[in-house]
Amino acid sequence: MYAQIVESTGKAVKTLNEMEGEERVFQERINAGGKIEPKDWMPDGYRKTMVRQISQHAHSEIVGQLPEGNWITRAPTLERKAILLAKVQDEAGHGLYLYCAAETLGISRDQMFDQLHSGKAKYSSIFNYPTLTWADIGAVGWLVDQAAIMNQVPLQRSSYGPYARAMVRICKEESFHQRQGFDIMMKMCEGTAAQKRMAQDALNRFWAPSLMMFGPPDADSVHSAQSMAWKIKMNSNDELRQKFVDAVVPQAEFLGLTIPDENLAWNDKKGGYDFTDPDWQEFMAVIHGNGPCNRERLAARVKAWDDGAWVRDGLNTHAAKKRKAAKPVAG
Ligand code: 3HC
């Protein structure tokens, strides 16, 4: 039995002793490390939380193509262009596995797109920041994909089967993405003084937004307590943020770059770095549609959807014709 945890909203998460019937069997299965599959009984709140998290994650992958896709035509060499193209295609694939995983919970793809395009659904705050230089593509791979891996590796053990399984392949590919980003940063840092300045500038701009990717501080996280009890989330937002900082600091030292935080210092007692919180007011503005690129990102997705209408119409018409042709003739 897990200990009672109290959400920041003040609402208590039920203990096993307070549950009975199907709810108790469900929680016991989760506590024992079992997986929940689409046709299994689940509480409405679990279904709702899974749909929210998986669809937000899928939207993040799809919107996340935009800041990098922006650099495909300007990549400095043919090799870099091919690598970036493959990475952006991987993100589309991740979005598709995740939309499929969410569909197993009873929401349709059209409903999810509608939520994204109307601004109702969230996607990761990080993709509302611009990629101004080629070094930003390095920083996105190094920092953003690393933050994504930090968060997603534990999700391979999360309780919802289709989500956990999708995460296995996604994590393998994210790991390649992170390495290609670090490789760009290494090249820039070994290059001219101007290239190294570009790398430092990219780190300066992407550092705080990368810390925000893990979500609000634990004390302000609305969903963490219940999601951790259901093993939808395996770690708290602050735990993962700390892990990320501890991993990135030595990498920055290796590159010869400076983390833009005067308060960054090793803390022997906690066995990790102390660091300055990002600006949480800025975070709230970004996740509520008022970041530097929110409007541009959403407009690009809506345009892609509208421009693709003729393809969807054609495919639907073709599928309907095939269904009609396959119908056995009565008689
Ligand atoms: N960006 C946007 N919204 C965020 C956010 C962020 N970085 N962090 C938190 N939020 C939102 C939550 O969605 C929630 O809003 P809602 O109630 O309207 O849905 C609110 O802020 C409160 O936050 P909580 O901590 O209570 O929310 P969660 O328990 O859901 O934790 C999370 C947030 C850690 C992001 C969690 O949802 C999660 O682990 N999601 C799965 C991973 C994911 O979505 N990653 C996206 C990263 S980008 C990516 O993978 C693309 C790759 O190519 C780099």
Closest alpha carbon to 32 in 156, 159, 151, 160: 159
Q: Which residue in this structure is represented by tokens 């709810």? A: 23
Closest alpha carbon to 154 in 64, 206, 228, 43: 228
Mutate which of 53, 59, 90, 234 for ligand 1 pocket (most atoms within 8 A of beta carbon): 53
Confidence label for 8 from pLDDT (cuts 50, 70 and 90) = very low
What is the per-residue pLDDT for 327?
A: 78
Q: Which residue in this structure is represented by tokens 């300045």? A: 197
Q: What is the spatial distance between Cα 268 and Cα 40, in angstroms, rounded to a whole number?
A: 46
Mean pLDDT score, 302-330: 92
Of all residues in the chain, the percent with pLDDT exceeding 70 is 96
**Mind giving me the DSSP string for 214-261?**
T-S-GGG-SSHHHHHHTTS-SS-HHHHHHHHHHHHHHHHHHHT---S-
Mean pLDDT score, 305-315: 96
What is the per-residue pLDDT for 14?
A: 87
Residues touching ligand 1 (Cβ under 6 Å) are 52-53, 56-57, 60-61, 64, 91, 122, 124-125, 144-145, 148, 151, 212-216, 221-224, 227, 233, 237, 287
Output the CA torsion 128→130→135→137 (10° steps).
50
| Per-residue pLDDT tens digits for 238-278 | 999 999 999 999 999 999 999 999 999 999 999 999 999 99
What is the per-residue pLDDT for 328?
A: 73
Q: Where is pLDDT greater, at 331 or 231?
A: 231
Determine the distance separating the centroid of ligand 1 and the alpha carbon of 223, expressed in angstroms.
10
| Per-residue pLDDT tens digits for 177-192 | 999 999 999 999 999 9
| Per-residue pLDDT tens digits for 37-73 | 999 999 999 999 999 999 999 999 999 999 999 999 9
Element (H, E) at 267: strand 265-267
Q: Please say if the pLDDT value at position 329 is more than 90.
A: no
Determine the distance separating the centroid of ligand 1 and the alpha carbon of 213, expressed in angstroms.
7
What is the per-residue pLDDT for 12?
A: 74
Element (H, E) at 321: helix 309-326
Longest dimension (CA), the chain: 83
Mean pLDDT score, 222-238: 96
Backbone angles phi, psi at 230, to 5 degrees: -90, 5
Q: Please say if the pLDDT value at position 169 is more than 80.
A: yes
What is the per-residue pLDDT for 9?
A: 43
Quick count: other Cβ atoms within 10 Å of Cβ 52? 18
Determine the distance separating the centroid of ligand 1 and the alpha carbon of 153, expressed in angstroms.
15
- 44-63 vs 109-117: helix crossing angle, rounded to 10: 60
What is the per-residue pLDDT for 331?
A: 57
| Per-residue pLDDT tens digits for 78-121 | 999 999 999 999 999 999 999 999 999 999 999 999 999 999 99
Confidence label for 236 from pLDDT (cuts 50, 70 and 90) = very high
Mutate which of 13, 56, 227 for ligand 1 pocket (most atoms within 8 A of beta carbon): 56
Backbone angles phi, psi at 133, to 5 degrees: -135, 170
Q: What is the spatial distance between Cα 197 and Cα 257, in angstroms, rounded to a whole number?
A: 9
Taken as a whole, the chain contains a residue count of: 331
Mutate which of 211, 241, 287, 293 for ligand 1 pocket (most atoms within 8 A of beta carbon): 287
| Per-residue pLDDT tens digits for 198-227 | 999 999 999 999 999 999 999 999 999 999
